[in-house]
Amino acid sequence: MGLLQLTQIQRRVEETVFPLINVADLAAHRPADVRITQLSRALAAFAIAKRGGLEWEEAAASVTDGTQDNGIDAIAVTPGGDRLLVVQSKWAQDGRGSMQLDDLIKFREGIADLVQLKWEHFNYKVASRKQELENALLNPLITIEIMVVHTGTSPCSPEVRAKMDEFLDETLNTPDEVASFHYLGQAELHRLLLDEQQLPQIDLSVDLTDWGQFQGEPKAYYGQVSAAQVASWHERFNSDLFSKNVRVVLHDSEVNDSLVTTLREEPDAFWYYNNGITILCQGIAKSPAYGADRRLGAFTLTGVDVVNGAQTVGSISKAARLGIDISQARVTVRFISLEGAGEDFAYQVTRATNTQNRITGRDFLALDAEQSRLHNEFLVENLQYIYKRGEADPAAESGCSVTDATIALACAHADVGLSTQAKREISRLWDTGERGAYKKLFNPSITYLRIWRAVGVMRRAEELLNDATVELDGRARGIAVHGNRLILHLIFRQLPVNKIDDPRFNWDTEIGDLSEIADPTLNTVIAIAESEYPGYPASLFKNAAKCAKLSSDALKALTSGR
């Protein structure tokens, strides 16, 4: 890479987002300096448009560079609302260098202030978008992509990367990986110039066993392939296999780990346990080899895209790299030709195969006798208890769902770790394995009365917390929103939970007096979190160890009257 590539990058930036960049705040600067700053801002917007899927105008509006920008040159929420992109950019006119350590330190401080909602540390460009950014940061499902964009040819230095990794580990990614760091140097920026259709075409020769042909249009075949074949595809083409997939391989996910475990321990059962792979092709041709024998067929596929099953492909490849014998494993696969298909057919297949009929932990609750028993107990009291996915949740006064029950019971439990898990990933609370939490929450001793009363406390507490949160601002508001499950746990710890199963006990009185508990609890959690736990509140309240300590300290303070 060098000046030619830099020229190509500059031309593309100038053709797209450069004219849209606001430089009104630079009126007092020299024209030459204004141009470099405008290029730097445009570079940040260009990266956001390409990485986040924003229109050029939206990307240009995301630029925050200027006086008191706190080291952040652009911030954007992606159209789906699930990702927050935070960028620092540097236009090096000579195409040399990379990010400096001093710039990184300033950038890190800005990110820390951003996730703690310290808006007073930012300029008007950020403050004017306070509501939009606050809504994103208060979303427990948000992921943060931190980007440094630099037109220099030098890679990110090990020192800079180590400092950023340390920051992420300590501030954002404990216990869950909320944020990721991406360094886009000149080489990476040049690759962004390539459009999707310029990706290399992937052609495959596939041996398909027990195959069949769909009798309809577009043309499609189905059957089984060996796991070894699948591993070879990923080894040759890597993520190019998934150019139209809604996601690529998710590293170190729970589902992928279970796939690898099956390949290691029960490879001959892999076909039974796995949903398979769906592949779109520009063309499909069957070889004359093997004739009409349906036990084995040879096929040539052109223009291949794996649109569903990326995790299956990635997990098989990982197992092969780990030296696991996958020779006995087989996978169901569908090959669908796009020849003669409508313009949006590929999009519709990709969307549907990634959203329809997905089995979740909640689905398996429909098979549990305890859930059926609780459903019947609620019916006796003329109440509804919904535990099968697809059924509409009842009105609040008429009943509750198993999701409501799970959260309420987890927060009412003496083990604060369960309330943390309810915040972190509720589906883990439906794990029925030996180490799973399900039987702690749902077992023969749990009655409809315990659930109904616990849900009542939860709903009333949420009303009180929502009212209080409206009056809060900045990091205190973030603590209140992200800490709602821990706060609910502490509220339960101050109630006579030992009486919750007693039908003679007047539980309505406890709910009526809840405001006397909720407000001090919220204030205590905010005070301790502000004092002892700097950083992103979303990460804090998903960390079991920190939540256990915070809960203990808060309970001591509350019961001692401090």
Q: What is the pLDDT of residues 221-230, one digit of tens each?
A: 999 999 999 9
Tokens representing 377? 């107990």
- Does position 67 have pLDDT exceeding 70, yes or no? yes
DSSP structure string for 99-120? --HHHHHHHHHHHHHHHTT-GG
| 277-281 and 179-184 strand pairing | unpaired
What's the gap between Cα 66 and its chain centre? 31
The least confident of 131-135, 193-197, 290-294, 486-490 is 193-197
Question: Do 374 and 256 sit in the same domain of this protein?
Answer: no
Residue 208, SS3?
strand
Distance CA 223, CA 294 (A): 9
User: Can you spell out the DSSP letters for 526-547?
Assistant: HHHHHHH--S-HHHHTT-HHHH
Q: Which of 26-30, 101-105, 387-391, 523-527 has the lowest mean pLDDT?
A: 387-391
Q: Are both 401 and 533 inside the same structural domain?
A: yes
Q: What is the pLDDT of residue 562?
A: 53
Tokens of 87: 């960028």
- 204 and 301 inside one domain: yes
Tell me the C-alpha distance between 191 and 193, whole Å.
Answer: 5
- Kindly report, residue by residue over 304-332, the tens digit of the pLDDT: 988 888 889 989 998 998 899 999 999 99
pLDDT computed for residue 348 by the predictor: 79
Q: Give the residue among 4, 8, 16 at the shortest CA–CA distance from 44.
A: 16
What pLDDT, on the 0 to 100 scale, is given for residue 452? 97
Instruction: Give percent of the chain with pLDDT exceeding 90.
Output: 61
- Give yes or no: residues 252 and 395 share one domain: no
Q: Are residues 151 and 7 in the same domain?
A: yes
- 150 and 233 in a common domain: no
Among candidate residues 338, 358, 378, the one where a domain is terminated: 358
Residue 244, SS3?
A: coil
Helix (H) or strand (E) holding 261, with range, is: helix 254-265
Could you give the count of Cα atoms lying within 13 Å of 80 in the half-sphere of its Cβ?
9
pLDDT for 257 equals 74
Tens digit of pLDDT for each residue in 433-488?
777 789 999 999 999 999 999 999 999 999 999 999 999 998 999 999 999 999 99
My answer on whether 256 and 404 are in the same domain is: no
Q: CA distances (Å), 435 to each of 110, 266, 417, in order?
A: 41, 21, 13
- Identity of the amino acid at 334: R
Give the DSSP H or E segment for 377: helix 369-380
pLDDT at 243 over 70: no
Q: What is the mean pLDDT of the chain?
A: 88
Confidence of residue 561 (pLDDT cuts 50, 70, 90): low
Cβ–Cβ < 8 Å for 67, 123: yes
Q: Which residue has the higher pLDDT, 289 or 516?
A: 516
Same domain, yes or no: 340 and 473: no
Over the stretch 92-148, which tens digit does the pLDDT of each residue have? 988 888 888 888 899 999 999 999 999 999 999 999 999 999 999 999 888 999 999
Return the pLDDT at 252: 47
Whether residue 308 sits in one domain with residue 411: no
Tokens 């706190």 locate to 70
| Strand, helix or coil for residue 222 | strand
- Non-local (6+) Cβ contacts of 207 within 8 A are 225, 226, 229, 296, 297, 298, 299
Instruction: Answer yes or no: are the C-beta atoms of 400 and 451 closer than 8 Å.
Output: yes
Examine the pLDDT at 196 and tell me if it is beyond 50.
no
Whether 489 contacts 419, CB under 8 Å: yes
Confidence of residue 197 (pLDDT cuts 50, 70, 90): very low
pTM over 0.85: no
Band of pLDDT at residue 192, cut at 50, 70 and 90: confident
Give the CA count within 13 Å in the CB-facing half-sphere of 267: 16
Better-predicted residue by pLDDT, 217 or 401? 401
Q: Is the dihedral of CA 281, 285, 287, 290 positive or negative?
A: positive
Q: What is the mean pLDDT of residues 244-259?
A: 60
Residue 484 confidence (pLDDT) = 96
Contact 412/432 with Cβ under 8 angstroms?
Answer: no
Question: Average pLDDT, stretch 54-64?
Answer: 94
Indicate if 178 and 278 belong to the same structural domain.
no
CB 507 within 8 A of CB 456: yes
Same domain, 50 and 137: yes
Q: Total domain count for the chain?
A: 3
- Token duo for residue 207: 């041996």
Residues 6+ apart with CB under 8 A from 131: none
- Tell me, what's the pLDDT at 487? 97
* Model pLDDT, residue 265: 92
Q: How far apart are CA 476 and CA 526, in angstroms?
A: 6
Last residue of a domain, one of 358, 385, 411: 358
d(CA 219, CA 204): 17
Q: How far apart are CA 9 and CA 12, in angstroms?
A: 5
**For 481-504, what is the mean pLDDT?**
95
Q: Which residue has the higher pLDDT, 400 or 357?
A: 400
Q: Alpha helices of 442-473 — where are they, by DSSP H?
A: 448-470
What is 486-523 written as a DSSP string?
A: HHHHHHHHTS-GGGTT-TTS-HHHHHHTTHHHHHHHHH
Q: Which domain holds residue 261?
A: 198-358
How far is C-alpha 452 from the chain's CA centre?
Answer: 31
Which of the listed residues 320, 341, 358 is the one where a domain comes to its end?
Answer: 358
Contacts of 23 (CB under 8 A, 6+ apart): 34, 37, 38, 41
Q: How many CA atoms lie within 13 A of 492 on its CB side?
A: 31
Pairing of β 277-281 and β 384-386: unpaired
What pLDDT shows up at residue 325?
A: 94
pLDDT at 214 over 90: no
Question: Do 320 and 407 fall into the same domain?
Answer: no
